[in-house]
A and B are shown apart, each in its own frame.
Chain A
Amino acid sequence: MKGKLVGMNGDRAVAYAAKQAKVDVISAYPITPQTIIVETLAEYVNNGELDAAFIPVESEHTALSAAVGASLAGARVFTATSSQGLALMYEILWIAAGLRAPIVMAIGNRALSPNINIHCSHDDAYAARDTGWLQFFAENVQEAYDLTLMAFRVAEDERVLLPTIVNLDGFILTHALEGLYVLEDAEVDAFLPKRKPINPIDPKNPKTYGPLDFTDWYMEHKRLQFEVYQKVGGVVREVFDEYEKLTGRHYQPVKTFNVEGADKAIVILGSSAGTARFAARKLAEKGMKLGVVSLTQYRPFPVAELRKVLESFDVVAVLDRSVSFGSPGNQLFMDVSTALYSSKKRPILVNVVYGLGGRDFTPLHVERIYAALEEVQRKGEAPEESLWVGLREG
């Protein structure tokens, strides 16, 4: 591993990456479990370690509104939020993407109310899935740091120009200290030079940003935006490759473990992927083979990559740390189902709900899921309902 080994929690690692990215503007509002990011950045600015404007806004709605304004002005902009804060930003999420403002935002993933809860669910990230933001999920503190740096590169690439979310599980990563390797400032400077904005606000070259767009042009504008997402995957891979050359750390949109020769797998997001691999190793000791597939890139959804990986399985559990009420499945399940539907060979899918509101996800749960997959495989048909693991008995 290249770099200097340090111990940090996820929030601090993200803030450190933003500092090394030499962000110009930080516009953010505190909310648990993201707050440490904002506090750390305020400290960097007030101690003179980071030359940036820190806008201590009065709400998340303003945090993102100001971020969009600053980004249009040509600044490199960072913000962070969680749960209710992201929900309050919702209106502006679409606008940031549509106006092609390459803001980077960290989300300390947290369950949405009611009832109020500060712990991890993926409700917030999922609620942003249609807004046009790119999304990455970090599995550990190292990834939270790495993905934050890479997010700026992807977001600001002139083939992309889209705001980007880095998700890290609330508390499980935001507040957890792990060892991670950080780059030297000069290395980050070389990887991530000063932003070169396209069409920034310039009084010498006046442009109109965010006009009314009626029936005659709105659709064409959406089509133009739509076409960008077809190119993002390629840019992400370029950035992953370049980052690997710099750090020795390998990233890919879809991460696989133990998939060769396995007929059962689980698909999962975030910190639980490691727990799933840990459990898969234990299962392997007992002669049971479970593939673990985790998504580092969630939006745009890596359809082709995922299809290639999953087609060979008989049964696949898709794990959602959220519930999409009244939908034909929960969020990741719907994504995976759609991605696989047109495949010639497709596995039976089982939707699993786990870990809501910080309910701990343990290797025992993975074993239960494995048992459920065995049963589905035996019966040859998918269960009607989703399986909830970790729910209280009785």
Chain B
Amino acid sequence: MSEASSFVLKSWREMPPGGIIPVPKTSLLNKTGTWRALKPVINQAKCIRCLMCWVHCPEPAILRGEDDSVAVDYDYCKGCGICANVCPVHAIEMVPEG
């Protein structure tokens, strides 16, 4: 992340030849969480840690814990609602932002 930001902040005259992006994962600087109208809220009490939401998230914005518990990374979640739909125990609810 720090590597990413240092590259993006450089003067264009120092950009490497060939128009390449010389460091990985600089898209982390682009917080797509602002796209969201509905936000997924996980009911941890209901969660069975099946990882369905984790595997199907297109961002990926579902964080997988060591114990396979899950959390939403709201910095990037676009609020598509796939996680809520694939949850077999309906532990995720989409609620309006704001």
Q: Residue B22 at the A interface, CB < 8 A?
A: yes
Highest count of chain B CB atoms <10 Å: which of A161, A198, A208: A208
Q: Is the CB of B21 within 8 A of A198?
A: no
Scan residues 151-193 of chain A and give those whose CB is less than 8 A from a CB of chain B: 161
Taken together as a complex, chains A and B put the C-alpha atoms of A217 and B15 apart, in Å, by 10
* Interface residues, chain A, with chain B CB atoms under 8 Å away: 98-101, 161, 198-199, 206-211, 213, 217, 220-221, 223-224, 228
- CB-defined A-B contacts under 8 Å, sample of 8: A99-B19, A199-B17, A207-B22, A208-B21, A209-B20, A220-B15, A224-B17, A228-B17
A-B interface, 6 closest residue pairs, ranked by CB to CB distance from nearest: A208-B21, A220-B12, A100-B18, A206-B24, A100-B17, A221-B19
A206 to B25, CA, bound (A): 9
Which residues does chain A contribute within 8 Å of B46, judged by CB atoms? none
* B29 interface contact, C-beta 8 A: no
**Shortest Cβ distance from residue A251 to the other chain B in the assembled complex, whole angstroms:** 26
Contact yes or no, A99 B18, CB < 8 A: yes
Binding site for A on B (CB under 8 A): 12-13, 15-24
Closest to A98 in B: B19
| Distance, CA A101 to CA B20, complexed state (A) | 12
List the B side residues contacting A220 at CB < 8 Å: 12, 15
Give A114 to B46 CA distance when docked, in angstroms.
72
Tell me if A198 and B19 are in contact (CB < 8 A): no
Q: How many A-B residue pairs have CB under 8 A?
A: 46
Question: Assuming the A-B contacts A220-B12, A224-B12, A224-B13, are A213 and B19 also in contact, with contact meaning beta carbons closer than 8 angstroms in the complex?
Answer: yes
Q: Chain B contacts of A208 at CB under 8 A?
A: 20-21, 24
- Known A-B contacts A217-B12, A220-B12; the reply to A207 vs B17 at CB < 8 A is no
Q: Are A207 and B15 in contact (CB under 8 A)?
A: no
Residue of B nearest to A209 (CB): B20
Contacts known (A217-B12, A224-B12, A224-B13); A207 close to B19, Cβ less than 8 A: no
Which partner residue on chain B sits nearest A99 by CB separation?
B18
Give the distance in Å from the alpha carbon of A34 to the alpha carbon of B21 in the complex: 36
Residues of A with C-beta under 8 A to B15: 220-221, 224
Cross-interface CB contact of B24 among A207, A217, A221, cutoff 8 Å: A207
Contacts of A206 in B (CB 8 A): 24
* Residues on the B chain within 8 Å of A213, using CB: 19
Give A223 to B18 CA distance when docked, in angstroms: 12
CB nearest neighbor in A for B22: A207
CA distance A217 to B11 in the complex (A): 11
Question: Known contacts A99-B19, A208-B21, A209-B20; can you find 10 more A-B pairs with CB under 8 A?
Answer: A99-B20, A161-B17, A161-B18, A199-B22, A207-B24, A208-B24, A211-B20, A211-B21, A213-B19, A228-B17
B2 to chain A, nearest CB (A): 16
Q: Which B residues are in CB contact (< 8 Å) with A211?
A: 19-21
A206 to B15 Cα, complex, angstroms: 16
Which residues does chain B contribute within 8 Å of A198, judged by CB atoms?
16-17
Known pairs A217-B12, A220-B12, A224-B12; A210 contacts B19 (CB<8 A):
yes
> CB-CB < 8 A to B12: which residues of A?
217, 220, 223-224
* Minimal Cβ-Cβ distance residue in A for B15: A224
Residues of A within 8 A of B24 (CB): 206-208
